[in-house]
Structure 1
Amino acid sequence: MSLRVSNTISSSSESPPPSLELCFENVNGSCVKSPYSPGPRVLLYVVFGFGAVLAVFGNLLVIISVLHFKQLHSPTNFLIASLACADFLVGVSVMPFSMIRSVESCWYFGDSFCTFHTCCDGAFCYSSIFHLCFISIDRYIAVTDPLVYPTKFTVSVSGMCISISWMLPIVYIGALFYTGAHDDGLEELACDLYCIGRCQLVLNQDWVLIDFLLFFTPTLVMITLYSKIFLVARKQAQKVEATVSNSESSSETYKARVAKRERKAAKTLGVTVVAFFISWLPYITDSFFDSYLGIMTPSFVYEILLWFGYYNSALNPLIYAAFYPWFRRAIKLILTGKVLKDSSSTINLFSK
């Protein structure tokens, strides 16, 4: 979501003094380059590069695990795999180019690719939001009614949720940027801000507000659902204790086991939702106030907030590895090459 929102006029398109370093030497209208010294530059490349590599390979492991092992073929896990796909694409198509722009303070890949890169950035972020929202709905049904859940949230329903999570962001972002609606009323500002080597598109206040609502509305839904989930989970936990102490029927014991499993899954995915919210909230809030207060956040602060959000794409696989034993087993089988065996897809990942 690398949008630069501002109501102030910049002089970046003016001819800089000869002593200043330019993004493109001997090119009229080039942006001024603000290079870091060698030490910080290397450190930033290491930090940003590590995040990109972790996002790519961590999410690739999630995707392979869910798609390869038949035991993981469930509506929830298909949603998780699709979410991992969005994070994987952030690591492949967004983070490497943003890394160079952030460290070098210049965009070397052309205006057309700048628009495409920004569209990918926004689309994959919003796709993650919708995925997480549908996952929270899935978990709510699973925890509140675990025995009926398999008939309510089927694979076909999960597929429909995945389709919506991809199509809506792509259509929205594509319409926003390729129709030019994002800078309606700010054409003069966009022209003043433009220089060769810049890739931070201007967004007017109407679309900033829409972006703000598109972030907070699903987030509010998720917070509401997970609040209800944990209230129900507390009551179920108390009931489980009573069931064990009273030695009730095997059917009641089975219900207790199912409820416990669904509560554990909800807890893990709740951590994923909280991590996403914390990662992107500072950037979204900063963009909103930048636009409506007419200020410009310093570039280094802007980059920190942006990369704080990007790092969320690398965080989810670490959460799964910490909370899901089946994911740790799947990783071990993948990295040791055992998934290449004919019968590997039927391996029991849930055995102790």
Structure 2
Amino acid sequence: MTGNFSQPVVQLCYENVNGSCLKTSYSSGSRAILYTVFGFGSSLAVSGNLLVVTSVLHFKQLHSPANFLIASLACADFLVGVTVMPFSMVRSVESCWYFGAKFCALHSCCDVAFCYSSLFHLCFISIDRYIAVTDPLVYPTKFTVSVSGICISISWILPLVYSGAVFYTGASDDGLEDLVSALSCVGGCQIAVNQDWVLIDFLLFFIPTLVMITLYSKIFLIAKQQAIKIEATSSKPESSSESYKARVAKRERKAAKTLGVTVVAFMISWLPYTIETLIDAFMGFITPAYIYEICCWCAYYNSAMNPLIYGLFYPWFRKAIKLILSGEVLKGNSSTISLFPE
């Protein structure tokens, strides 16, 4: 009795329906733990990113091109937490899809679109930080609100068009008709993607990631050189303009380091899933289901990590959270409150 309770038992997703998918039923304790872990990630992605968006949009001091990019990134992660993670949670724990075939395609489309949108946002943010660190005084004239708007538009339009092409044209499963037929059952949501599209997926991940690694490597090299230069001239009297330039450079370097942590977290979260899908496509889809689910949730959890990183490194974000949660933002003049130390 105890052995049957602790081990997965094979059942059907729909007991009285012909062609129902098989269901792997876990013990009540295991299911409770999985729902808690996955539910926590989804809640954190929704609430944390909602706080980021609210902070940037409400407080006028945060209205800058760079922060608009961060708010748009938070929107993508917020949508992952709302439209993707809750339904993936049920699929992962119950090993069945109870939301219909049409929503399966929409869910998969949202999954790809919003996750790639996050990647594109991070790539543009790295470009923004590179410009800010290499030429901090000219940076405000180079990366304007209109430039930020173009970056945000590209970060949304390209992933949406790409995901729609993958999941609504049927091109992704060309050559996999036998596999698709074998996977087709009531209560399933397995999307087969052929080798060509998997390679495109890999390139869409690899190229922006390579750009980010290259830019942040240059950023940290420049930051080190600037720090050595400042230390060498610290004993010498400097003009007000030189002092201002040093303060601006220091602020931009700190922002770049924080967003560098965000990029590293993204790569660590998404690399297992990217490698797994690449290997799976060329090795005949041999990966066990639980390995795939672990890789998926590592990637999903990235959407919950960014607000934690901001809270850890950005004092202004911690202050904004206190003002939002305390209800201070409901006051008429709250948008003009200073979030930065004098």
> Does TM-score exceed 0.5, indicating one fold?
yes
Q: CA deviation at 1:295?
A: 3.8
How far apart are 1:302 and its partner, in Å?
A: 1.1
In structure 2, which of residues 60, 69, 79 is the aligned counterpart of residue 70 of structure 1?
60
Q: Report which stretch shifted further, 57-66 or 195-204.
A: 195-204
Question: Does 2:150 correspond to 1:160?
Answer: yes
Matched, 1:298 2:253: no
Question: Which residue of structure 1 lines up, in the alignment, with residue 114 of structure 2?
Answer: 124
C-alpha deviations, 1:151-183, integer Å up to 9, x for none?
000011001100000000000110111111110
What displacement does 1:185 show? 1.2
The answer as to whether partners of 1:243 and 1:253 remain within 8 angstroms in 2 is no
TM-score normalised by structure 2 residue count: 0.96
- The CA deviation at 1:141 is 0.2
TM-score w.r.t. length of structure 1: 0.94
Distance 2:152 2:50 in 1: 18
For the pair 1:88 / 2:78, whether they are aligned, the reply is yes
Matching residue within 19, 22, 26 for 2:16: 26
Secondary structure, counterpart of 1:34 in structure 2: strand
Q: Does 1:145 align with 2:135?
A: yes
What letter is aligned with 1:24? Y
| Residue aligned with 2:188, SS | coil
| Separation in structure 2 between the aligned mates of residue 327 and residue 242 of structure 1, nearest angstrom | 33
| Aligned counterpart, 2:213 | 223
Moved more, 238-247 or 222-231: 238-247
Aligned-partner Cα distance in 2 for 1:20–1:26:
15
What one-letter code is carried by the residue in structure 2 that aligns with 1:256?
A
Q: Aligned letter for 2:104?
A: C
Distance 1:200 1:268 in 2: 37
Residue matched to 1:15:
none
Count of aligned positions:
334
Q: Distance in 1 between matches of 2:105 and 2:285?
A: 24
- Report the alpha carbon displacement of residue 20 of structure 1 after superposing the two structures with TM: 4.6
Answer yes or no: is the 8 Å Cα contact 1:55–1:313 preserved in 2: yes
**Long gaps (5+) in structure 1:** 1-18
The answer (yes or no) to whether the contact 1:326–1:349 under 8 Å persists in 2 is yes
Whole-angstrom distance in 2 between the partners of 1:238 and 1:254: 17
Kindly indicate whether structure 1 or structure 2 has the higher relative contact order, using CA contacts under 8 Å at least 6 residues apart: 1
Counterpart Cα distance in 1 of 2:47 and 2:57: 15
Sequence identity percentage: 75
1:331 to 321, 327, 339: 321
The answer to which of 232-241 and 121-130 deviates more is: 232-241
Match of 1:46 in 2: 36
Aligned residue number for residue 4 of structure 2: none
Displacement of 1:111: 0.5
5 Å-filtered alignment, 1:197-276, equals: 197-276=187-266
Contact 1:183 1:202 in 2 (8 A): yes
Residue 85 (structure 2) pairs with residue 105 (structure 1): no
CA offset digits 1:293-316 (Å, max 9, x no partner): 224211111111110110000000
Contact 1:31 1:195 (8 Å CA) reproduced: yes
Q: Structure 2 stretches of 5 or more lacking a match?
A: 1-8
2:5 maps to what in 1? Answer: none
CA distance, structure 2, for counterparts of residue 20 and residue 103 of structure 1 = 13
Q: 1:52 to 1:241 in 2, by over 3 A?
A: same
1:60 corresponds in structure 2 to 50
For residues 34 and 302 of structure 1, the distance between their equivalents in structure 2, rounded to whole angstroms, comes to 15
Contact 1:45/1:103 (8 A) holds in 2: yes
SS at match of 2:321: helix
Q: Distance in 2 between matches of 1:349 and 1:20?
A: 55
Root-mean-square deviation (Å): 0.9
Cα distance per residue 1:84-128 (max 9 Å; x no partner): 000000000000000000000100001000000000000001000
CA contact (8 A) 2:41 2:301 kept: yes
Structure 1 residue ranges, 4+ long, deviating more than 3 angstroms after superposition:
none
